[in-house]
Amino acid sequence: MDPQVPKQLQDKIAQFQTLQSQLQMLSMQKQQLFMQSADTDNALKALEGVSGEKVYRAAGPLLVETTKDASEKKLKDDKELTATRLKMMEKQETKLTEKLDELRNELQTLMKPGTGAM
């Protein structure tokens, strides 16, 4: 950074950039969870159309025989877990956004002409 920029301002800018990166990563993770939730919904719908009790689920590169009820229970548990993780991520996202807004205001104040920071 420019040696004429005060250390306090440099630190705040670095902190702001870090928070932006964290928010971006969180957003990508949330998107992955949304896709996972949609896949689970699709699997549950597909399972509804199964007439027999025997089904196969993927376990890595293998297909494992299981029951329709067991598969349905596992999918519903997975969906609940995904929903819980999404709620946690939304709370984290809210907190990060609030911190970013606070920091943005601090930076704007520090960078105003006449404050002596620039």
Going from the N-terminus, what domains does the chain have, and what CATH number goes with each?
Answer: 31-104 (1.10.287.370)
For position 52, what pLDDT does the model report?
86
- 1 pLDDT exceeds 60? no
pLDDT digits (tens, 9 = 90+) for 57-99: 888 999 999 999 999 999 999 999 999 999 999 999 999 999 9
Is the alpha carbon torsion for 73, 77, 80, 82 positive or negative? Answer: negative
pLDDT digits (tens, 9 = 90+) for 15-40: 999 999 999 999 999 999 999 999 99
pTM above 0.85? no
**pLDDT band at residue 113 using 50, 70 and 90 as cut-offs:** confident
Q: Any long-range contacts for 34-38 (C-beta under 8 Å, 24+ apart)?
A: 34/86, 36/78, 36/82, 37/79, 37/82, 37/83, 37/86
